[in-house]
Amino acid sequence: MPSLDPVVAPFFSEWAGRRPGQSRSLDRASALMAALNLDPAPVPVLGVVGSKGKGSTATYAAATLSAAGLRTVLVTGPSFRGYRERVRVDGLSVTDEELRSLGEAVETARRELPSPARSGGYLAPSGLFLIAGLLHARAVGADACVLEAGMGGHRDELRLVGPEVVALGMVFAEHLGILGDTVTEIAREKTRVADPDRTRALVTLPQSPEVAPVVSETLHEVTEGRVSPRVVDPATAEEPPRELRPSGLSAASGVLGTAAATRMLELLGHPAAAPERLHSVLGTVTLPARLSRHTVPGSTAEVVVDSAIDRVGVAAALAHARALWGGVDHVLLCLPDHKDVSGAVSALEGLPVTAVRLPEAHLRFDHDLPAHWDRVGAEGLSPATVTALGQRVLALGTVYFTGRVLEVLDAPTDRLFDANRA
């Protein structure tokens, strides 16, 4: 459970105090937005949904809008080293004081609502950070917002905002039984983030044969035929150039984010950045925990950190590390039971691995692992223990874990891109 210090308490208090069986309430979130005069949203919104790659998509979308001269607020989640990373302006995290002020505004309005017990549901942290991003956009006179959804679509607070443009990443069988019982049900849930009146475009990566028609049909239904999906294929897309795309599996997300932002600029009647300007800004993008490379403080050892959670992601990260270093000395892996543990074990066969366990009570780590693997608690990680594993360490797993690794490595995470780059 997150620490309920004064800065973050407004974002987590209702979640922390939820009763068994109680669920998040979009009606409550809608009432909070109304109390804060955020309906309609104060600026045009580009919303990002999908099963994977949402953070990378959102970052590239925000960088593209900022490169074109729009002051852009970006809301992503979860954070890496601190909660102020959840809200950024032109790629830079808000300050502690700005986050405190946003939390106080949220809390003041929240107290005007009926209690969670009376309303039947609680305000979810991800939704409250989204609302805080809209508040900050109004406060700083932003021109646009890029908002990353949580795991859902129609049941996510992003749907209440009515995004002008939707960027839809690949849809997989992620969160089965939560968002839907089949991948097509999940695709329908995510596509229904579109608003019947406000959404003017949906840009999507090429989807699987079973998902693509569901996206088209659902969007047609929601918008009464006003909007059709625009597919951007990374294999043929010209922007961004391949050398400016993220490494590994995130490359497609960079293409999607850039394309969705370009479409938004068209709809706003705002000129796109000149190619040299766009490329200059995109060249500054950093994606922490997405095949990011770091030196361990006080040593020459290096760590590649990636939030891979399945066989495909683990294999791709391993291939990247081998291409970079020529080999891998050790792997740190942290996957709770609901991730693809078996797939990761298979992909890492023959390598020295240490399995890391997180202390969060809601995560289970009971899956059978190879007997020869080492085990360690996340609290046991330090620069010294990481260095002892070798000169080339690959750290893989859930974002709760990769954020801890970035903290151990003292990795910079405040700035995702530099919008001032000439």
pLDDT for 278-335, tens place per residue?
A: 999 999 999 999 999 999 999 999 999 999 999 999 999 999 999 999 999 999 999 9
151 contacts 126 by C-beta, under 8 angstroms: no
pLDDT of residue 119: 82
Pairing status of strand 87-89 against strand 72-75: antiparallel
pLDDT of residue 395: 98
Residues 256-265 as b/e (b if ≥16 CB within 10 A, e otherwise) read: bbbbbbbbbb
Dihedral angle at the C-alpha atoms of 102, 106, 108, 110, nearest 10 degrees? -170
Most distant CA atoms of the chain, gap in Å: 60
Q: Which residues contact 337 (CB under 8 A, 6 or more apart)?
A: 363, 364, 365, 366, 367
DSSP bridge pairs for 49? 168
The CATH H-level superfamily of 292-409 is: Mur ligase, C-terminal domain (3.90.190.20)
**Portions of the chain given CATH number 3.90.190.20:** 292-409
The share of the chain scoring above pLDDT 90, in percent, equals 91
- Could you count the other beta carbons within 10 Å of the beta carbon of residue 149? 28
Pairing status of strand 201-204 against strand 165-168: parallel
DSSP bridge pairs for 295? 302
The helix/strand/coil state of 144 is strand
pLDDT of residue 120: 85
Joined together, the tokens standing for residue 78 give 């979860």
pLDDT of residue 239: 97
Q: Which residues contact 65 (CB under 8 A, 6 or more apart)?
A: 46, 72, 143, 144, 146, 261, 264, 265
Query: Over 80: is that where the pLDDT of 178 sits?
Result: no
Query: Over 60: is that where the pLDDT of 34 sits?
Result: yes
DSSP bridge pairs for 397? 334
pLDDT of residue 172: 82
Highest mean pLDDT among 17-26, 172-181, 197-206: 197-206
318 contacts 326 by C-beta, under 8 angstroms: no
Mean of pLDDT values over 256-273: 98
- Helix segments in 269-376, DSSP class H: 275-282, 311-325, 341-347
- Helix segments in 274-398, DSSP class H: 275-282, 311-325, 341-347, 383-387
Q: Does domain 9-283 have CATH number 3.30.365.10?
A: no
DSSP bridge pairs for 356? 376
When pLDDT is cut at 50, 70 and 90, the band that residue 2 belongs to is very low
pLDDT of residue 129: 98
Highest mean pLDDT among 2-16, 64-78, 178-192: 64-78
pLDDT of residue 1: 42
**Portions of the chain given CATH number 3.40.1190.10:** 9-283
Mind listing the pLDDT tens digit for each residue in 197-243? Answer: 999 999 999 999 999 999 999 999 999 999 999 999 999 999 999 99
pLDDT of residue 179: 67
In this prediction the pTM is: 0.96
Distance CA 43, CA 143 (A): 6
pLDDT of residue 360: 87
103 contacts 1 by C-beta, under 8 angstroms: no
DSSP bridge pairs for 343? none
pLDDT of residue 361: 83
Distance CA 320, CA 315 (A): 9
Mean of pLDDT values over 34-47: 97
The per-residue pLDDT of the chain, averaged, comes to: 95
When pLDDT is cut at 50, 70 and 90, the band that residue 21 belongs to is confident
